[in-house]
Structure 1
């Protein structure tokens, strides 16, 4: 641990000069003025006004006005992004008005790309898109990943559900791996950070019966959700392999590069923001309200199902599903302070989030503290550092199958339990007079067939987790020569998560009638060190170039211990030390990666840009050429990209119509290594009789290779009307070969699965981004617009023989649905059972249902088949921001066309008799299909049958295709209205520099033909590999809509 905290003295050193910034000032006098734009004389808010050579400064308000104290003879500097900086000497005037001209060559200056390298936007030759701090804050999302929804073309984000702290999955330009993680690499201030989600398959005891906190039983966060949104200055999305090629083995899925806020020279500024939110469930599954508890049309108190008689007139009914969900409240407070001098700056922040969910006892909280600073120790030596502590966790809601019942049925999750609860019983009455759990069903032959009441379980079976996390990095840079800078960045990401699952005495599960507890402690450590040599030189007005040479070392260690204890000796003392039978499992995983990389960029005549990138990696998870070596065989990757700014050649760069145009193209190849311990199989602790060790499920494979992704990209960027309007169009194609998958092997080998290389996945798509300011008037009215369009075609081109599909075990959501990659289909495919149909393509009846001639009902099939794609055909987002002086209105519209969603809730409710479909029971129908004749011909079905309980349970619910629906939608993601107090009022306080009031509505409108709650969901959470679990709606907390009210004050 000493290595981790050595940077604290450095931080103290770099922050110390700030205290010396307050020099004795000469005679000062007030200076005021207004800053406007040259193009239309509209006021410019947010312009930095600084007395040159001092920390004294101000920022213009919404009306472009500023006020500060300055000495005669001083010089004022006026700077604003996208405009040319101006300086003005202070004479005898007390009023200095400035007109700033737009910098038509700036194009928003620089963008942060790989390894925290700042790159001129004009030099970009790959697809990169940036999201600014204001856009992140306007979304009012507590999870930073969700704040990117609708902001970037080619990015698909899926939230797991509506519970507080739920994780979200992000995929850029489609998944490239059949079994690997398809989410992008996350980088913060040049340091790689963890964005994983806890998943059942990676837990030490994963898959065991006692899995209250594992995988799909509770929603778990993605680790990027730990970050404080107010700390973020910008997020740059590096799309695909070409843009992120410098990251080598980690670059196949692109990268999310986060730049945090830093202190700025000038007066110390204090910002405070508070926000209160109210949420409610947006939509709930539809249920039938006509039939009560029972079976075969007769009331039966020994079953929970609702196949009983109709409700009688005046008979009490209870809306158990609707009653369970309540209002959820969120309280957020953010505080930050920044300042400094031209030699040293600092930024310190703190935040607190307290959130109660829409289900009983569901809570989540998050606390963050961050300190960063920068010190220019000399003209050549600079030190930058940051450290942040994050604490998050809460009490989760049981989802999906939840806690398994005696028979292993999936009725323990709260939503599924409510879907099964008969309307003739009030689930809110969960306690007997003596305080014990009230039973819904009586004992059945000595085996408890009852299931826990969700209210009782929420209180007495808590599922909790708590994460403590530290993120820190220090960067030293030294300017050796005017053209050469050396830098070294060392960072660490350490997190410790403690999860607990309790089953109180009296739970319905027979094996745990006397209670039990499971605890998981997961310690993750990631240390990265990067050394860069950056060279940049202008050889002549016609030629300039830059060269970056670098080395990076990544080392990670994941240590998890799973403790279980059964039978509480004292029913009221919840502790593993209070249990009779105890067990423990441990898993340790380590990984080391060393990479050397280079990037050469050449610009000719400021018109043609050529960029070459190369990287050579060695990973500890790949086969080793010599025994005893730490690393496996090295692998090289690289990219070539070029751009041509044709508007300069044509002399259009000063045109009032098309002032910037650039075409670009690139080809890149990157890779992905395998996980630890796949080359050589480890031993696993044996918890059965006799103890000792046994072989792991996965067999060894000493000839594994990394997956390789080759990507091709072409695009054009156009800027019109002096950068008032921008258009960016991209086409890409990627091919990923040598897929790492784990098919079953003969058990004679002593193993069940073995990782091999085989299979090819391709992605082909288009992205269009339109942005600009169509209207800007001298009266202070502006209209800003951002539109994104995205289309992607994903395809599994080949699989190792004899495989025709690769299923993902964590996406085995229902008994008749599973996520999988079928040959010739997308990796986000849906596997499902269908009814038997006519398969003779030469028959006029091809595709029609086969009807059982004896019963008159359709015949269920028994083969898993491809039944749809969960990914959309295309998506479009439109953000409009209208500003009039101090008033601003911003709205994000999100449109999705195509794709499928599995309505697992409808399937479950249909089986138990509460689903809306079952309201048609006893109805006479004639199924549209044919019966097969002995001569190979078919006869149209004409036999009427009754929709009985048997039909719904053994025929309809035995297949999956009827429960697959269209996932298209149109939704209003958010609508934000804000008002900033005019400077004339703020000046009277002599304290306040800014005050903003805001109100935001989230998910206020959802238009969709989906019959369930919300088609944007992921039943097994955000950590599922391969095609993920998005598009499966089964037992999750439904998505919510809400209203936020906020206040921001600047001192």
Structure 2
């Protein structure tokens, strides 16, 4: 038997040819006729082999290796994960972190290049063609991915409830010391109320009005899937509370709400989830909505990027109330030594001082930001640092804050991604006491014939206008800001860990773990000669020491499946949180030194501490919560979306009989512009969605609202006694039922975005604290489930791009309107 061999030669990068001589020799080796029928058939088949091989080489000779890149048209940044496919063939590749790709194709074939949120492109393979592609972003609802409950990412078209999204750049451009203030006027249905305009002032945000008569109506704050604390110091509450030992009303002083510690420069995006149907997965703590924040991360550019920016803001008082300086001190035209101005008219030519202008000053705020990031395909790091320094329009008021943050993203193989981060905040707020009426009212009370800046006599004592007792005459505003002082110091650490594990193409397991802790200390100093204290008290000093420890985690497993025209998703998860506040406070009078702020600077027998101090322990407040939740979602052709969620929650706040509760939520949305494509003809309407949702949620009271405790009795022989407030051992959570209907439109080539929402919320089993009932209860004030409220309203949000040159920044007008019935 003769064995015939073929020999191949390489020619070029992908073509194989046969030597003519070798081919001829192989053909000749079959020319001699075999003797048996079997051999004759075998030889006949083997004669075809060289021809088949030649045809294969001819086809292979047409393929070439194509190398190219894909970038964003406007930003010029490389796009990772772009699909490059040979039309009509199964061959496809993805671009790498630098936007590069390599694929084999033949001359004349077409490369299809596609990426979510960008217009698809087609490039024909030919000699001399350019394969460096620039993709144009689609101006549609696919531009955004909204981060919703549990750090889940969703396309806007999927959502059956109202959300609004802001970019981090929009927040940073406002250069506000408290990022909450930057949301003012940008979110429909949001009411932001700063307590004052001084440095370090707290701010409250309420979404869709007040739904609870007595409990907290603030939304939940979630950063990278982790719940952050937003407490502020409560001066009142008594010896069993986590307030001040002096148990004062919250009027003379203000304390920054702790979400203000977040560095605006670290924010990538903010998603505002307004209603309970959007936040049902977060449970009772998000019954007033949630603000979901995503932080900046390094981009995988392979380069070290260093950025620095700064800003300087100047603030001044421009609007003042109208008032009259026509009359002198007195009553009914009769002069008297008082701060009442209904006496005789001032004589013509009487010298007047503009004390308001003398008091308020120019406020200056400066911010310096540094950002350093470096990233490659499988890992990236980002470090940021910010220095903020603000002096307000009120003299002797200054806030200084330092923020540092280090974050990392690491991909382990193709299935695991981890995103750890650690942030540190250090702030100091020096502030004067504002008094119950504020500085403006005191300035208006001051006689215009007295120079307010002359507030000390030659001996350095308080100048008096009408009396001889400094404690009975209201404080000159300049005396107040210099001698009645307060200060808060804070050190805060926030560490987070995100884990994403793609177990299978259809199953994703995620974990978000976070630990938030801070130590806050402060004092309030009232001068011995101030009208805020009596002569017998000889001054007063309040000191507090506060520690917070908060751990929470969320673990979810999400499975997806496609069946024909239907796409389904099922998510199951668990949440656990343990939040503890420890608070130690002491107050004393009869100051030994009129300048020292140490708690030992008071007479020992006047000092009062919180209850647990007798055991050498701080007062504490602990809130533990365990929850299991699930979500089922299905859509038809990416045009009709149905979602149902359910949460089962256990809270340590309520008695055993009422601490387990659950609540459902559902939503439905229709993409009308896809269901009826004729609506998009003419480019008048580019996108139209209608949506609806409903939910039932609960709202928790403060811890220990169901447990009466003993307070230290300082009268009637001492000992212990119940306080004025009766805690209710049968207290139940508030219940909240709500629904909303809405529509979203994009018009005129996506230049106008319109979002209209109607919402209706009914609140039952309202928890009312400090409720006066019969004294036969043994208490003056009670905590009860009484009453109900209803809250409904309409929200309208409009974004319009008036003018945008090609490859340039446009002019955007954004407005929001809310009309509510409460």
- Give the structure-1-normalised TM-score: 0.64
Q: CA deviation at 1:525?
A: 2.2
Measured after TM superposition, the shift of residue 740 of structure 1 is 0.4
1:506 counterpart (529, 532, 556): 529
Please name the residue that 2:547 is paired with: 523
Partners of 1:618 and 1:634 within 8 A in 2: yes
Aligned partner of residue 610 in structure 2, secondary structure: strand
1:696: how far off?
Answer: 2.9
Which among 221, 239, 245 is matched to residue 256 of structure 2? 221
Q: Supply the distance in 1 between the matched residues of 2:466 and 2:497 (Cα, whole angstroms).
A: 62
The verdict on how the C-alpha distance between 1:434 and 1:525 changes in structure 2, with shifts beyond 3 A counting, is: same
Q: How has the CA–CA distance of structure 1 residues 34 and 271 changed in structure 2, closer, same or farther, with 3 Å as cutoff?
A: same
Equivalent of residue 708 in structure 1, options 726, 732, 735? 735
For residue 49 of structure 1, what is the aligned residue in structure 2? 78
Indicate how the Cα distance of structure 1 residues 449 and 571 shifts in structure 2: closer, same or farther if over 3 A, else same.
closer
Shift in alpha-carbon separation, 1:777–1:427, aligned structure 2, 3 A = closer
2:318 equivalent in structure 1:
282
Residue 644 (structure 2) aligns with: 612
**1: CA distance between counterparts of 2:81 and 2:504?**
27
Shift of the alpha carbon at 1:292?
Answer: 2.2
SS of the equivalent of 1:786 reads strand
**Per-residue deviation, 1:204:** 4.9
Confirm or deny that 1:693 pairs with 2:731.
no
Structure 2 counterpart of 1:682: 709
- Contact 2:70/2:79 (8 A) holds in 1: no
1:524-923 map, 5 Å: 524-540=548-564, 542-580=565-603, 581-586=606-611, 587-625=619-657, 632-652=658-678, 655=681, 656-688=683-715, 690-742=717-769, 743-778=771-806, 780=808, 782-794=810-822
Are 2:369 and 1:334 equivalent residues in the alignment? yes
Checking the alignment, whether the CA contact within 8 Å between 1:200 and 1:206 is kept in structure 2 is no
2:357 maps to which residue?
322
The correspondence for 1:440, drawn from 443, 459, 465, is 465
Which residue of structure 2 aligns with residue 486 of structure 1? 509
Aligned counterparts of 1:495 and 1:332: Cα–Cα separation in 2: 23
Alignment of 1:363-378 (within 5 A): 363-378=398-413
SS where residue 368 of structure 2 aligns?
strand
Deviation string 1:399-426 (CA, Å, 9 cap, x unpaired) is: 242xxxxxxxx6xx53332222111221
**Counterpart in the other structure of 1:450:** 473
Q: In terms of Rg, which structure is larger?
A: 2
Q: Distance in 2 between the 1:320 and 1:205 partners?
A: 43
Q: How big is the shift at 1:775?
A: 3.7
Change (3 A) 1:571 1:140: closer
In 2, the alpha carbon distance for the partners of 1:670 and 1:709 equals: 5
Equivalent position SS for 1:199? coil
Partner of 1:272: 308
Tell me, yes or no, if the aligned pair for 1:211 and 1:217 is still in contact at 8 Å.
Answer: no
Q: Alignment partner of 1:647: what SS?
A: helix
**Cα distance per residue 1:417-476 (max 9 Å; x no partner):** 2222111221211111122222223326xx942222221221122111122222221122
- Aligned partners of 1:400 and 1:415 also within 8 Å: no
RMSD: 3.3
Q: Is the 8 A contact 1:545 1:602 kept in 2?
A: yes
What CA deviation, in whole Å up to 9, does each residue of 1:796-824 have, x standing for no partner? Answer: xxxxxxxxxxxxxxxxxxxxxxxxxxxxx
- Partner of 2:177: helix, strand, or coil? coil
Instruction: Please report how far the alpha carbon of residue 97 of structure 1 lies from its aligned counterpart in structure 2 after TM superposition.
Output: 7.2
- Contact 2:234–2:244, Cα closer than 8 Å, also in 1: no
Answer whether contact 2:432 2:482 (CA < 8 A) is retained: no
Q: Find the partner of 1:200 among 216, 220, 235.
A: 235
Q: Secondary structure at the match of 1:145?
A: helix
Provide closer, same or farther for how the CA distance between residues 33 and 683 of structure 1 changes in structure 2, counting only shifts above 3 A.
closer
Q: 2 CA distance for matches of 1:126 and 1:679? A: 35
CA distance in 1 between counterparts of 2:125 and 2:592 reads: 81
After superposition, the Cα gap between the structure-2 partners of 1:378 and 1:213, relative to the gap in structure 1 and judged at 3 Å, is farther
Q: Aligned equivalents of 1:229 and 1:110: distance in 2?
A: 20
For residues 126 and 781 of structure 2, the distance between their equivalents in structure 1, rounded to whole angstroms, comes to 80
* Bigger mean CA offset, 376-385 vs 679-688: 679-688
SS in 1 for 2:315: strand
Q: Shift of the alpha carbon at 1:87? A: 11
CA contact (8 A) 1:733 1:762 kept: yes
Give the SS at the match of 1:418. helix
Helix, strand or coil for the counterpart of 1:459? Answer: helix
- Deviation track 1:665-685 (CA, whole Å, cap 9, x = no partner) reads 111101112221122212223
Conserved in 2, the CA contact under 8 Å of 1:591 and 1:620?
yes
Instruction: Give the superposition deviation at 1:177.
Output: 0.4
Match of 2:196 among 115, 140, 161: 161
Q: Which runs of 5+ in 1 are unaligned?
A: 1-30, 37-43, 54-67, 402-409, 626-631, 795-1051
SS of the aligned residue for 2:432 comes to coil
1:160-192 CA-partner distances (Å, limit 9, x unpaired): 221112122111111110111111111111111
Q: Is the 8 A contact 2:71 2:77 kept in 1?
A: no
Specify the SS of the correspondent of 1:537: strand
Counterpart for residue 292 of structure 2 = 257
* Residue in 1 that maps onto 2:178: 143
CA deviation after TM superposition for structure 1 residue 83, in Å: 2.6
Deviation at 1:49, TM superposition (A): 2.5
SS of aligned partner of 1:392: strand
2:213 aligned partner: 178
Q: What is the rounded CA distance, in whole Å, between the counterparts of 1:357 and 1:165 in structure 2?
A: 9
CA–CA separation in structure 2 for the residues paired with 1:230 and 1:90: 45
CA-CA distance at 1:212 after TM superposition: 10
2:142 aligns to what SS in structure 1? Answer: coil
Query: Is contact 1:107-1:723 (8 Å) kept?
Result: no
Shift of 1:105: 6.1
**What is the CA-CA distance between 1:107 and the residue it aligns to?**
2.5
Distance 1:468 1:600 in 2: 42
**SS of match in other structure, 1:477:** strand
Larger RCO: 1 or 2 (CA < 8 Å, sep 6+)? 1
Shift of the alpha carbon at 1:381? 1.7
TM-score normalised by the chain length of structure 2: 0.81
Q: Structure 1 residues 92, 273: CA separation in 2 closer, same or farther (over 3 Å shift)? A: farther
- Residue 689 of structure 1 and its aligned partner are, at CA, apart by 6.3
SS at match of 1:169: strand
CA contact (8 A) 2:339 2:447 kept: yes
Contact 1:50 1:78 in 2 (8 A): no
- What are the within-5 Å matches in structure 2 for residues 282-321 of structure 1? 282-300=318-336, 302-321=337-356
User: Alpha-carbon deviation of 1:721?
Assistant: 4.0
Kindly indicate whether the alpha-carbon contact (under 8 Å) linking 2:240 and 2:709 is maintained by their aligned counterparts in 1: no
Residues 371 and 698 (structure 1 numbering): CA distance in 2 closer, same or farther, change over 3 Å? same
For 1:507 and 1:480, the matched residues in 2 are separated by 68
Q: 2:766, 2:787 within 8 Å by CA — same for their partners in 1?
A: yes
Unaligned 5+ runs, structure 2: 1-67, 83-96, 105-111, 612-618
| Structure 2 CA distance for aligned equivalents of residues 138 and 756 of structure 1 | 45
Mapped partners of 1:69, 1:92: distance in 2: 24
Cα distance in structure 2, aligned partners of 1:284 and 1:121? 45
Return the alpha-carbon distance in structure 2 between the equivalents of residues 472 and 564 of structure 1.
34
Contact 2:287 2:699 in 1 (8 A): yes
Determine if contact 2:236/2:243 at 8 Å carries over to the other structure.
Answer: no
**Conserved in 1, the CA contact under 8 Å of 2:235 and 2:244?**
no
Map 1:83-94 → 2, pairs under 5 A: 83-84=118-119
